Every structure is written in C-alpha cells, then in structure tokens.
Structure 1
C-alpha cells in the first residue's frame, strides 16, 4: 500500500460514515427522521468497526412525513410517532464522541448531512464541530469519467450489491462505507494523496461551526489544517 494508510494522522483518525433521512417542509430546512453512523479505524492494514449507532427521529409537527417521503424510504408517520425527538436521538449520538480526539465525518454529498447537523447543533454540539469528507469530489478525482457520481452509480462501478432497503440511513451508511473503502484503496496508490492532509485538500468540507461567520459553508480546508483533528469518536 502507499503513503496514505501509513500516515500517522490518517491512522490516528476515526472516520465516521453518517447518513440522514429527512423530510423537507415548505419554508423550513430539512428535518431529520432517521440517522445512522458507523465509526471506522484503519488498523494493521484493515478497516475495523469502532462503533455503530442508528435511530429513528420524530419530526416536529410542522414537518409531517409525506407520501413522497414514504415512497422514497418506506418510513411512515405511524413508525415515527413513537420515535425519540431530535434532542434525545441526536443527543445520544453526540455523547458517543469524545472531545479532543481526531474524527472526520464521511458522507455522500456531504452538504446534505452538514446542513442538517448545523441546523440541529443545539442537540449535538460536539458532532456539529467535526469536519467532513465528501465521497463525491474524492470519487471524481480517483475515478474520472463516470456519467455521474450518485451513490447508485458508485455502487455499480465498484460492483457493490445494492441493499434491498436502499434509502434507509443504516443501509446507506453501510454501502457508503464500502465505497469509502474502495476510494481509500485507490487513493493509497495515488501519489497526489500521500497523507491525510492531501485527502482533506481534495474532499474536505469544513463544518460551519468551525468557520468565521462570513465564510462559506464548504470552504476546503488548506493542507496541513488541523480543524478536522479537533474532535473524535469512541
């Protein structure tokens, strides 16, 4: 293998693949109705699961689950009526993280997850300060020429079996993790991606809570930047 998976910063980082399902009421930002997270460490040449979390989330009254949402992911108003609210569900996830340990969130189209997390930051303040890696720009760099970089396209390209419960958060986390494994393997052979800082330069996205108010939501972290190393997951 190449330099990336031998880089001390890469080896010290816990990568947390995260995915939300949400409903988007008119006039409001997306409201989460399910979250799943899978914590991963790279140790002794292989990936190890370091923790897993999944929860349904009861949406507020102004954000009902619509038939279109149910058609997309199968979640119904009845299922969510007894689910924990955002404060309980996201608070429980937030407590899985340990301050001052190195983490990066990993997401397919990280803008979606980043915006939901930022809008719910009062319930998950530690999570809201963890920077992200976006699998889309990383895939564009490593696998040029695909017709698009949607998750289904990447699953087909890497011959990853599509789950029967695609569009549920826990299933999408699992297959996104498999895509991430393939991308890291390819990055390990890329001389431009010799360490974690280089990976962050291409695919890093700074959490809004870590940026000055006038900054853009997804400014790329400069090489050698350290904000992605500020927090970590058990």
Structure 2
C-alpha cells in the first residue's frame, strides 16, 4: 500500500465501521432496532480487528416494527420485545470508546448513521462526538463512472459476496468493512489521498455535535 496507510495519523486512528437498522415512525426521526460496530486499525500497512459489538435494540412504543421493516431486515416485533432499550444498548457501545485514542466512524451513506447517533446522543455522548468517513464520496473518487454508488453496486464491483442476511447490521458492517479496505487499497494509486487529512477532506463528515451551534436550531 502507499503513503496513506503509512501516515502516522492514519495509523494512530481506530476506524470503527458502524451500521444501524431502524424503524421510521411518522413524525419522528428513525429509531434504532439494531446496531453493529467493527473496529479496525492499520499498523505498518497491515489491518487488524480491534473489537466488535452488536446488539438488538427495543424500539419505543411510538416506533413499532412494521411489516415493511421485517421484510427489509427480517427482524420482528417479537424478537425485539426483550432486547435492550436504546439507552442500555448505546451506552454499552459508548463505553467501548476511550478518551486517549483518536477514532473515525466509517459508514456507507454516513449521514444516516450520523443522524441516528445524534438523536440518541444522550445515551452515547462519546460516540456522538466522533466524526465520520463516508464510503460513497470515497468510492466516487476512486471508482468513477459507476451507474450508482449503492452498497450492493459497490459490493458487486469489488467482487465482495452478498451475505445471506444482508440488511442486518452485523452483516452490513462486515461487507462495509470489506468495501472500506478495498477502497483504502485503491487509494495507493490516488496522489490526492496521501494522508489522513486528505482522506477526511474528501470523504469526511463532521459529527452533528461538532457542528456550529446555530445548526442545532433545526434539529430534524
């Protein structure tokens, strides 16, 4: 691999691939029903898994699992009846992050994950302060000309097999992590991506908690 993975700031960063499955009640923001996270670190060009976490989440009463949600994810209301609450699940995930290490979250269409995290920020204040990398602008830069940049399209382009439980958070995290590593490998041929700062400039998304206060006036 090229200069990007040998950049000291890149090597110091833990990249946490994250995915939520949600239900979206009318008049409310999306409510999480499952979360998965996979932490990766790169040392001397070699990737290692630094930890993973997954949890079902019981949605609030105003956001029941619908038949459409079940068709998409396979999750049913019965499965989630005894799941941890959002406060329990997300505070447990939040405790996995330590103050002495730099992190970046990685997600496909990271705005979706950023919004879920922001609306749950009372339960995960550390997580809510972590900025994100979005695989979509990174893929557009490195693999121009695709018909679209949906996850399934990118998986097919890179020959990453579709998991049988696609649209469950753990499976989607695994394939998004594979995609991210393929994109970072491809970045060795991009002179514009020589270090972490360049990567963040291209594909970074500022956590909503880190944005200027006036942007909070329209907390949709």
Under a length normalisation based on structure 2, what TM-score does the superposition of the two structures give? 0.97
Deviations 1:80-122 (A, max 9, x none): 0000000000000000000141100000000100000000000
Aligned ranges 1:85-164 → 2 under 5 Å = 85-164=85-164
Deviations 1:186-230 (A, max 9, x none): 1122111000000000000000111112349xxxxxxxxxxxxxx
Deviations 1:34-85 (A, max 9, x none): 0000000012322100000000000000000000000001000000000000
Secondary structure of 1:65's aligned partner: coil
Paired position in structure 2 for 1:175: 175
Paired position in structure 2 for 1:213: 213
Contact 2:17–2:107 (CA<8 Å) still a contact in 1? yes
Paired position in structure 1 for 2:59: 59
CA–CA separation in structure 2 for the residues paired with 1:215 and 1:41: 32
Q: How many residues align?
A: 216
Aligned ranges 1:178-217 → 2 under 5 Å = 178-215=178-215
Deviations 1:154-186 (A, max 9, x none): 000000000000000000000000000000001
Contact 2:36–2:55 (CA<8 Å) still a contact in 1? yes
Alignment root-mean-square deviation, CA: 0.9
CA–CA separation in structure 2 for the residues paired with 1:18 and 1:102: 16
Tell me which protein shows more helix as a share of its residues. 2
Q: For structure 1, which runs of at least 5 residues remain unmatched after alignment?
A: 217-234
Stretches of 4+ aligned residues off by more than 4 angstroms: none
Paired position in structure 2 for 1:228: none
Secondary structure of 1:197's aligned partner: helix
Aligned ranges 1:2-17 → 2 under 5 Å = 2-17=2-17
CA–CA separation in structure 1 for the residues paired with 2:68 and 2:215: 34
CA–CA separation in structure 2 for the residues paired with 1:188 and 1:210: 30
Paired position in structure 2 for 1:49: 49
Contact 2:5–2:44 (CA<8 Å) still a contact in 1? no
